[in-house]
Structure 1
Amino acid sequence: AALSAAFPRHGKARKNYVRALVLACSLGLPAMALLYSPYPQQWMADVHNGPGEWKTLRLADGSTLTLNGISAANLHFDSRQRRIELLQGEILVEVAHDGERPFVVQTAQGTLRALGTRFVVRREDDVTVLSMLESRVAAQSANGQQTLEVDAGSQARLSKDAVRLSGSIDTASINGAWRRHQLVVDNRPLPEVLDEIARHRSGRLQFDRAALASLKVSAVLPLDDTDRTLQMLAQTLPITLKTFTPWLMIVSPDTESKK
């Protein structure tokens, strides 16, 4: 009788253990996915915006900060400093004059000290891209070993141990693109363009970087309607678009296309 009474309790305990394990997995897997996604960092930032959003803020010193796409930044403003810590995405900064406090944009790859008024900073994985629209910025690598002054009309790329000029830019086109919510690209690899488009979409844009790396894009693309933008690319490049749900689109090479 004692043995018969024990086995049901053992079976019940085992069922409870299995239920607890299933519950832990059902909660743990989404938590892990959230941990490795960009959203926790974005939600905890001082300022942030979501896909497809454009946000302009007036800062405490009178400067203007504009964010686009999935972007996030922390603001450090007090009596001694004016510093923006860009965590992800892209910002347009118009700096108000202050002779006492320098204006700095900081990323994991280095610091950008404003010597002028207007510039764009974009995070790309392990690189920071600076596009200088007016005056100058002193760009310094994170290890402090290299500093370079970047003038208006120039673009620079910062890594943790280097700063280098990467070419010239059309400042009028970039200013117009920010006003009209557009993306201006000149001979950029398609995967980089898709990365920018993905920041302005609510769903996932999936593609094979290596398979599309040889395709280059030069265009002015609307960012307020990314479906239209992707269709424009598909009309001119040998790629196909497959939409499985409103939350998933796959971009693939079209090997039979004669575009």
Structure 2
Amino acid sequence: MSSSADINEQAADWLLRLHEGSLEADELARFDAWKHADSQHTAALERMQNFVAQMQALRLQKAPVRAALSVGRRRTPRGKRSISALLLVIALALPLGLLVRSQAAVYWLADLRTAPAQWQTRTLADQSQISLAGNSAVDLHFDDQQRRVELLRGEILVDVAHDAQRPFIVATEQGEIRALGTRFLVKREDGSTLLTMLESRVAAHGVRSSATTEVAAGEQARISPDQVQTLGTVDTASVADAWQQRQLVVQDQPLTAVLDELAQQRAGYVHFDRAALAELRVSAVLPLDDSDRALQLIADALPVDVQRITPWLVRVSRR
């Protein structure tokens, strides 16, 4: 059974193609079959079409929306001008739905947060330093007994100041990492936390397990609620350099996974067909703070096209 996110993505793809007028008779038949195969499909289409109607009603009232639609009109042939409203709505509506399900309010209320493609470094009250990658958020809990950083979203680099009286803890939904003076990266992934040690050691454990695992400099581990799995070693100098340069370094990784990473650093939506791109793999060094350039580098190296439909919607398709 498809997830709500998958159904939204499929609905967006069908609506885009319908408004482009590019469907042949057999494709129209497949669309009709998809639409009637599940009541959730019809509901997703109706939600997006309702958003289109709402956005069109707001066109004359909201200056930012008018400006965005004007950009779409200038780039769209006369017979297809209405697509600008549709695409802007899809670009805004889909991420909004996903954000609501991932507790967007927690992100906006976080003690520290960064926008997509925005990096930030702060010195904390104990003189430790924390750097947030783009689209990241943390809550800080410092008192006389502990120093605790809760990673709510994204990735952080922490450089811990020594304090023998108060442990320094980084917590995620999956587990905790305890240090007394060290430097490491923590990244939230789907269902797990990725820990990369740059200096010294930490003790890590899952939220459903009291057994701790020591992870030393140059090692990487994945933390799940029930265990800490060591993944092997990394070149700490290269990892640190990539972080400082805001780069995504990938070696023979699935293109879909790379696109997911880049999508986290955009204010809008990256739309692509996972099945069509499933066989493509990437080896590259990509700029995380310039996703447009990263996508162009991918298009130059692989048989894919990158279509910038609006500033908020990019589509990547198999060439």
Fold shared per TM-score above 0.5:
yes
Q: Which residue of 2 aligns with 1:187?
A: 252
**CA distance 1:203–1:138, shift in 2 (3 Å):** same
Give the number of the structure whose residues are more often strand, by fraction: 1
User: Is the 1:173–1:184 Cα contact (8 Å) retained in structure 2?
Assistant: no
**CA distance 1:152–1:218, shift in 2 (3 Å):** farther
How high is the TM-score relative to the length of structure 2? 0.66
Which SS does the other structure have where 1:69 is aligned? coil
Q: Which residue of 1 aligns with 2:124?
A: 59
Rg: which structure is higher? 1
User: Is the 2:148–2:168 Cα contact (8 Å) retained in structure 1?
Assistant: yes
> What's the C-alpha RMSD, in Å, of the aligned pairs?
2.3
State the shift of 1:126 in Å: 0.8
Partner residue of 1:40 out of 78, 95, 105: 105
Mapped pair 1:234 → 2:299? yes
State the shift of 1:35 in Å: 2.4
**CA distance 1:185–1:114, shift in 2 (3 Å):** farther
Give the number of the structure whose residues are more often helix, by fraction: 2
Q: Which residue of 2 aligns with 1:130?
A: 195
Partner residue of 1:205 out of 263, 266, 270: 270
Q: Which residue of 1 aligns with 2:161?
A: 96
Which SS does the other structure have where 2:164 is aligned? coil
Between the aligned residues of both structures, percent identity stands at 55
Q: Which residue of 2 aligns with 1:248?
A: 313
CA–CA separation in structure 1 for the residues paired with 2:275 and 2:201? 36
CA–CA separation in structure 2 for the residues paired with 1:107 and 1:210? 31
Letter of the structure 2 residue corresponding to residue 200 of structure 1: Q
Q: Which residue of 2 aligns with 1:82?
A: 147
- Specify every segment of 5 or more residues in structure 1 that has no aligned partner in the other structure, as ranges: 1-21, 255-259
Partner residue of 2:176 out of 103, 107, 111: 111
Runs of 4+ in structure 1 off by over 6 angstroms are none
Q: Paired residues, what number?
A: 229
CA–CA separation in structure 1 for the residues paired with 2:130 and 2:235? 21
CA offset digits 1:122-166 (Å, max 9, x no partner)? 011211001111111111011015421111111111111121112
**CA distance 1:84–1:217, shift in 2 (3 Å):** same
Letter of the structure 2 residue corresponding to residue 176 of structure 1: D
- Specify every segment of 5 or more residues in structure 2 that has no aligned partner in the other structure, as ranges: 1-49, 55-92
User: Is the 2:221–2:230 Cα contact (8 Å) retained in structure 1?
Assistant: yes
CA offset digits 1:9-42 (Å, max 9, x no partner)? xxxxxxxxxxxxx9xx96xxx7x83623664221
Which SS does the other structure have where 2:297 is aligned? helix
User: Is the 1:102–1:113 Cα contact (8 Å) retained in structure 2?
Assistant: yes
CA–CA separation in structure 1 for the residues paired with 2:181 and 2:217? 9
**CA distance 1:228–1:166, shift in 2 (3 Å):** same
State the shift of 1:115 in Å: 4.5
User: Is the 1:182–1:220 Cα contact (8 Å) retained in structure 2?
Assistant: yes
